Amino acid sequence: MSPTTRDTGRFDALTADAGILFGADYNPEQWPREVWVDDVALMREAGVNLVTVGVFSWAMIEPEPGAREFGWLDDVLGLLHEAGIGVDLATPTASPPPWLGVRHPETLPVDRDGVRLIAGSRNQFTPASRVYREAALAVTGDLAARYAGHPAVRMWHVGNEFGQLDYGDEAAREFRAWLRARYGTIEALGEAWGTAFWSQRYSDFDEILPPRRMPYLVNPAQSVDFRRYSSDQLRAVFREQRDAIRAAGAAQPITTNFMGVFAHADYRSWADDVDVIADDQYPDQASPTAPADIALVQDLMRSLGGGRPWLLMEQAVSATSWRPHNLPKSPARARLDSLQAVARGADGICFFQWRQSRSGAERFHSALVPHAGADTDVFRGVVRQGADLQRLRPVVGARVQADAAIVFDWASWWASSESAAPTDRLDTVAEITRWHRALWRRGIAVDVVAPTADLTGYRLVLAPHSYVIEQDAAAALTAAVTAGADLVVGPFSGVADANGAVYAERSPALLREVVGVSGEQWCALPDPSVPLVWTDGAEPAAGVSVGTASILGEQLRSEGAHVLARYGAGPLQGRPAITRHPYAAGTAWYLGAVVDDAVLDDVIGRAAASIDRPLAGYDLLPDGLEVVRRGEALFLLNHGDPRRGGEAVEVTVPAGLVDLLTDEVSGEVVAIAPDDVKVLIERQDR
């Protein structure tokens, strides 16, 4: 197997041996050695089986250029190994020592305004810098050579949360090389970027710069290409460190931690480079939609790995400290969050961090062992989680089967985020999250896929905001409908090609035939909203609103589609807003406006009518209840927060199922307390 190909079997072998992984980032360099001994004892008490070590240890390992101080790390790994605790060993390359930037200022990143960022925080490197890359590879190579065969090391963790942007001269050089490789000739670039506009014609690649501060609006194609380049450049840094680890003989899985729906890295292009998808998730405790929102991220992570188990690499056990206002989680909620990730496909549950720092920028960020020590509700909750996860061993490796797919891709998101559009209020991620919520409320499992994926196995495909649609995506979406799926397309879709050039035809370009409706222009809607009048079946009295549209509508005409709702007032009064079009064996629904939550839920509910639910008889689940089937296990998670008046919910299930968490045998009616979870499975030998 080539070192550049992911090998998912490495992670499967680890979890087959260790069960569900449970642990945290462990930063022993912040503590005296006596504390290490206590740490290891407490880890054992909690059932921790994996800790990520060394993420920010470069200055400890290499206190001056070329030096190597591995003795302390030998001791830490030795202690952990004696206690049977596995190590996810990190390359320390996310945070170079201050001396690197002092000696080599070109390793420091430069922001859009030309400001060079300095040491004193973290992440002060430019991915394009050869000096940085060589220094990072040298320390990675030595680390890997020393520990590749260490029995404590069960996994490798490259860098941390790759996400740096750099607009400096190092980036300019690499961006040009990237553009040369993409376009070949400056004429081809000029065509793709539309440089005839505003006299932007370049005669040589060397004239091009990253999209630094400019007098007025930036060329959107240049901006999107810079995003592509930035993601690729970070990926190159990841890959070369990964390859150095493999070249040193390491056989463990190698990964890095993603950041959910993150704007500066196209994780779909990274997915084949990691042996397991790993993600950091910090849902906001203050948001009532957090459980549904994070479910989308978890579905994305599972889907990036082709449905295979993924790893929750970081989360907070209580409060974060980087928000302006940081609500803590109760121990019950922390447990619920962890079990939600398992339900949606995670085979590992880890946290940031093991022991709460006394100093530094994250001194108020929660940790498994808080400042107040182990005699705390937080730590008792951690011990409980460890025990729960051991009980869930039967779900290791099991899959979530989805009949529905939601389309999301970075290039389209990027292109749609460029300024100077009909509205800057249409947010791709917000829309995808809202559409996904309609499925979450029904317990309908969903994969998050590229529009170019093979969609023919799905019964429902949602395309909430696919701004960029090219021939391959149009063919895939059409094939899904042809095969019998319901396809629901949202507004401002099929607008542009991959360069962000707008199609000079009626919208949604390339999908007109399948949706049976087309638009002449997009139309920002007046605040706060305009009424929609349902026209399907029994018509409400003229002018009676059944919901609203806001932000953006489209001046549509039906070309064969049945009109379900029209605008009741406003600039588009009387025109179609929501349509349905039978096509081949399937049906295409079109939402020509950003409709309110209730209307959206209604349309998606209709389109999803034929999909089997994990709980028979429930079209909509009781408020706050999340239901997921993973393999044979039925997860029932009650997100009704008791601090917000959440209550127990009762549902009917097949009698005689066993709760893996308690061994209780359920009757037909199961009550789930707020913040509690049941994992029901048919009785079997465990």
Q: How far apart are CA 246 and CA 408, in angstroms?
A: 32
| Dist. CA 339–CA 327, nearest whole Å | 20
* Residue (of 468, 476, 521) closest to 496 by Cα position: 468
Evaluate whether 543 touches 566 at the Cβ level (below 8 Å). Answer: no
Q: Using CB under 6 A, which of the segments 39-47, 181-189, 314-322, 584-592 binds ligand GAL?
A: 314-322
Closest residue to ligand GAL, judged by C-beta, is: 352
161 binds ligand GAL (CB under 6 A): yes
- Beta strands of 95-222 (E only): which ranges? 153-157
**Residue 360-389 contact track with ligand GAL, rule CB under 6 A, x = bound:** --x--x------------------------
Cβ atoms within 10 Å, residue 263? 16
By the rule CB under 6 A, 282 interacts with ligand GAL: yes
Please give the size of the binding site for ligand GAL, defined by CB under 6 A.
Answer: 11
Residues 6+ apart with CB under 8 A from 132: 96, 100, 104, 107, 125, 126
User: How is residue 26 annotated by DSSP?
Assistant: E
Among residues 161, 170, 174, 554, which one is catalytic? 161
279 binds ligand GAL (CB under 6 A): no
Which stretch, 172-180, 312-320, 596-604, 615-623, contacts ligand GAL (CB under 6 A)? 312-320
Instruction: Enumerate residues 518-557 that contact ligand GAL by CB under 6 A.
Output: none
Nearer to ligand GAL, 161 or 266 (CB): 161
- Contact window for ligand GAL (CB under 6 A) among 286-294, 315-323, 602-610, 655-663: 315-323
In the bound state with ligand GAL, the residue whose beta carbon lies nearer, of 123 and 558, is 123
- Shortest distance, CB of residue 27 to ligand GAL, whole angstroms? 9
Q: Which ranges of 405-454 would DSSP assign to H, the alpha helix? A: 410-417, 428-440
The answer to whether 383 touches 424, Cβ cutoff 8 Å, is no
Say whether 161 is catalytic: yes
Comparison of 13 and 263: residue with beta carbon closer to ligand GAL: 263
Among 280, 431, 486, 659, binds ligand GAL (CB under 6 A): 280
For ligand GAL, the closer CB: 72 or 262: 262
Q: Is residue 49 close enough to count as binding ligand GAL by CB under 6 A?
A: no
Query: Is the Cβ of residue 197 or residue 322 nearer to ligand GAL in the bound state?
Result: 322
Q: How far apart are CA 240 and CA 234, in angstroms?
A: 10
Identify which of 364, 225, 378, 314 has the alpha carbon closest to the alpha carbon of residue 23: 314
Residue type, 608: A
Of the pair 96, 494, the CB lying nearest ligand GAL is at 96
**Separation between Cα atoms, residue 520 and residue 534, nearest integer Å:** 22
CA distance 599 to 447: 23
Residue with tokens 């499992």: 445
Which one from 62, 170, 174, 314 is the annotated catalytic residue? 314
User: Which residues make Cβ contacts (< 8 Å) with residue 645, sequence separation at least 6?
Assistant: none
Amino acid at 300: L
Nearest-angstrom CA–CA distance, 471 and 549 = 30
52 near ligand GAL, judged by CB under 6 A: no
Q: Which of 15, 34, 39 is nearest to 373 (CA)?
A: 39
CB of 367 to ligand GAL, least distance (A): 10
CB of 168 to ligand GAL, least distance (A): 24
Which one of residues 160, 385, 548, 550 is an interface residue with ligand GAL (CB under 6 A)? Answer: 160
Q: Does 352 engage in binding with ligand GAL (CB under 6 A)?
A: yes
Encode 253-269 in three state secondary structure: CEECEECCCCCCCCHHH
Residue among 382 and 476 whose Cβ is closer to ligand GAL: 382
Query: Could you say which of 88, 314, 337, 403 contacts ligand GAL (CB under 6 A)?
Result: 314
In order of 36, 462, 526, the CA distances from 83 in angstroms are: 12, 48, 64
CB 443 within 8 A of CB 608: no
- Stretch of 192-200, 313-321, 442-450, 597-605 contacting ligand GAL, by CB under 6 A: 313-321
The smaller minimum CB distance to ligand GAL, of residues 196 and 286, is found at 286
In angstroms, rounded to a whole number, what is the distance separating the alpha carbons of residues 649 and 248? 54
Between residues 321 and 482, which has the closer beta carbon with respect to ligand GAL? 321
Q: Is 320 in the site for ligand GAL (CB under 6 A)?
A: yes
CB 650 within 8 A of CB 643: no
Give the shortest CB-35-to-ligand GAL separation in angstroms: 19
Is 262 near ligand GAL (CB under 6 A)?
no
Verify binding: residue 88, ligand GAL, rule CB under 6 A. no
Q: Site residues (CB under 6 A) for ligand GAL?
A: 160-161, 280, 282, 314, 316, 320, 322, 352, 362, 365
Residues involved in catalysis? 161, 314
